[in-house]
């Protein structure tokens, strides 16, 4: 009876198990980490786009492109970004920079 009383709330519903609470905490933590990473990637992409619009030097563009590629690859490796999305974004920006150079 004591166990039954401890696992029930006042309204008679069962209380959440500790494992479910732990999963909630873990998913919130992962969600914040993933959002921060995706924000970092989009900031790098925005920086690259601004550099292209301003007509910066090719060396500068290559450095920014390399940082975007690196962030995308690391995101795929950790499971934050899907493989095909990373491939698509990398191909688009590679093509855009090849058009700017010529």
Counted domains in the chain: 1
| pLDDT per position as a tens digit, 36-92 | 999 999 999 999 999 999 988 888 899 999 999 999 999 999 999 999 999 999 999
Q: Looking at residue 11, what is its pLDDT?
A: 74
Residue 26 maps to which CATH number? 1.20.58.110
pLDDT score of 15 more than 70: yes
Q: Tell me if 27 is assigned to some domain.
A: yes
**How far is residue 12's CA from residue 9's CA, in Å, rounded to a whole number?**
5
Q: Which range of residues forms the domain containing residue 81? A: 15-101
Q: Tell me if 77 is assigned to some domain.
A: yes
Q: Mean pLDDT, to the nearest integer, of 23-33?
A: 96
Q: Looking at residue 10, what is its pLDDT?
A: 67
Q: Tell me if 53 is assigned to some domain.
A: yes
Q: Tell me if 57 is assigned to some domain.
A: yes
Q: Tell me if 94 is assigned to some domain.
A: yes
Look at residues 52, 48, 53, 39 and name the one whose alpha carbon lies nearest to residue 81. Answer: 39
Q: Tell me if 2 is assigned to some domain.
A: no
CA angle 95, 72, 82 (to 5 degrees): 100
Q: What pTM was computed for the model?
A: 0.76
Q: Looking at residue 68, what is its pLDDT?
A: 96
Q: Tell me if 7 is assigned to some domain.
A: no
Q: Tell me if 1 is assigned to some domain.
A: no
């Amino acid at each position: 009876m004591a166990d039954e009383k401890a696992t029930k709330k006042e309204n008679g519903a069962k209380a959440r198990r500790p494992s479910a609470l732990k999963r909630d905490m873990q998913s919130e933590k992962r969600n914040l980490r993933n959002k921060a990473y995706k924000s970092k990637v989009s900031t790098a992409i925005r920086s690259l786009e601004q550099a292209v619009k301003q007509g910066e030097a090719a060396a500068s563009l290559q450095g920014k492109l390399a940082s975007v590629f690196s962030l995308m690859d690391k995101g795929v490796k950790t499971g934050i970004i899907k493989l095909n999305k990373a491939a698509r974004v990398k191909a688009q920006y590679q093509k855009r920079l090849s058009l700017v150079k010529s």
